[in-house]
Structure 1
Amino acid sequence: MTTAPTAPPSPSGVTDPAGPAADLTVLAVLDRALLGEVRRLARLAEGVAAGTVPVTERRALAVADHVERVCEAIRHRHEAEEDLLWVLLTRHAGRALDLSGLRDDHVALRGLLGEVRRGMRGVVAALMLRSLAVATAADFARMRTLAEGLAELAELLDEHVRDTGRELAAVSVPADAWHRGVRALLATAPDRAGIAVRLRATATPGEVAAVDAALGRAGTFARHALRRRERLVFGE
């Protein structure tokens, strides 16, 4: 009597006959989109701190609003991941999956997001009192601190995205349940329409189908409004 060979364990030690490895496509596109926005804001803040980028009161308020939107989107991305997707992964992977390192990253990122938001509010408060043309040394110091905070946020976020991909790539989970979780994460996002536009703009041709399936019609009519806002923020 012959015995059927057993499937070799995955690199993470996680095996689950209930489904294929979790499809991280949509989450990867979302992470690239958010990381790209943080990097754009970091470059903008560096220019303001160097005195090479002019900032009117109207533009300062638009930048502050954009920073808040991006920071809130990142916060939601991580909290919804824990509530919707990690619960699902743990249910199927059991003790073989250790999310403690990623959870620590989320805590550190939340703290840094808070620092960036406070820094942005301080810069705006200063610009409401004095234009950039008569800004004080303290004003420019606030701007440099904000630029450094955004750069640090981009660096930590980039590292966390890579770690997440390595940790979760081999975890098996029922495909239908996973897709429902991803759709729920996107559906509960703040500024859902704006996020949808960014996802579609960031996705490669090979990723578009997965993104569209997760989004449905969300963001269909928001592209022009987002573009107007970006022109005011980034001057593009």
Structure 2
Amino acid sequence: MNNEPTGLLLAHRAMLRDLDRLAELTKSLTATKTDRKRAVAIADYITDFCDSIHHHHSAEDDVLWPVLERAAGAHVDLTELTDDHAVLDPKLSRVREGAAALKSGHTVSPELAADLADLRDTLHEHIADEERTIVPLIKQYVSDDEWNRVEAAIRKRGAKMSFEVPRILAVSTGDELAEARREGGLPVALMIKLMPLPFRRRESLVFGGSR
């Protein structure tokens, strides 16, 4: 088996990009009164981002981990990664609370900036550990058919596609986009062309000229 978990790696890539730019954005805006429209846009983006992280890690716990444990058996120990996921819940709750305060008060608190910086550091380390230990096991022990079933089961869990897809496309290479077009045909080609357009307007409001 030589299955390449491209969707997982792209999700990680999009997550790390947002972690870096959200941490930098909130640091730069700390204690500064922000225009109401932009403050609401930033808060809503942070909330969607927290929901995305939760969806990703709960899908790993509920869908991917059991498949990997069955396939790899004694070759896999997911205890540390599962413990990391449990640590994320209170961190995400604090960030959501900070986003709610930003939405109502239009000011980025020092606590929100610090919590996002902490979340960034935590997930950079966690994702590096996960890709170093889990990705080789997926390639070795999980068949293409089984991996397709994993991805299908995760899609059924109801991620917010208007948020997920444009972020994935933004971190995809030209070769990855070409492969997606080949596999998905016209519907995927139209998605790649059209879905980022409204999202870019959203990003422009949230991040300004730096995206």
- If the length of structure 1 is used for normalisation, what is the TM-score? 0.77
1:150 alignment partner in structure 2: 116
2:70 alignment partner in structure 1: 91
Contact 1:21 1:170 in 2 (8 A): no
Aligned CA-pair RMSD: 2.4
2:4 alignment partner in structure 1: 23
Cα distance, 1:22 vs. partner? 4.5
- Partner of residue 127 from structure 2, selected from 145, 161, 164: 161
Which secondary structure state, in structure 1, belongs to the residue aligned with residue 30 of structure 2? helix
1:68 alignment partner in structure 2: 47
Pair 1:219–1:155, CA change in 2 (3 A) = farther
1:198 alignment partner in structure 2: 167
Determine which structure has more spread, i.e. the larger CA radius of gyration: 1
Unmatched tracts of structure 2, length 5 or more: none
Question: After the TM superposition, which residues 79-158 of structure 1 pair with which residues of structure 2 at under 5 Å, given as runs?
Answer: 79-127=58-106, 143-158=109-124
The percentage of aligned residue pairs carrying the same residue is 33
Unmatched tracts of structure 1, length 5 or more: 1-19, 133-141
1:177 alignment partner in structure 2: 146
Pair 1:80–1:227, CA change in 2 (3 A) = same
Which secondary structure state, in structure 2, belongs to the residue aligned with residue 207 of structure 1? helix
Cα distance, 1:100 vs. partner? 0.5
2:22 alignment partner in structure 1: 41
Does residue 222 of structure 1 match 2:195? yes
Distance in 1 (alpha carbons) for counterparts of 2:143 and 2:42: 41
Cα distance, 1:64 vs. partner? 0.7
- If the length of structure 2 is used for normalisation, what is the TM-score? 0.85
Aligned length: 202
- For residues 69-96 of structure 1, the C-alpha deviation after alignment (integer angstroms, 9 at most, x for no partner) is 1110010001111222111111111133
Which secondary structure state, in structure 1, belongs to the residue aligned with residue 174 of structure 2? coil
Pair 1:231–1:41, CA change in 2 (3 A) = same
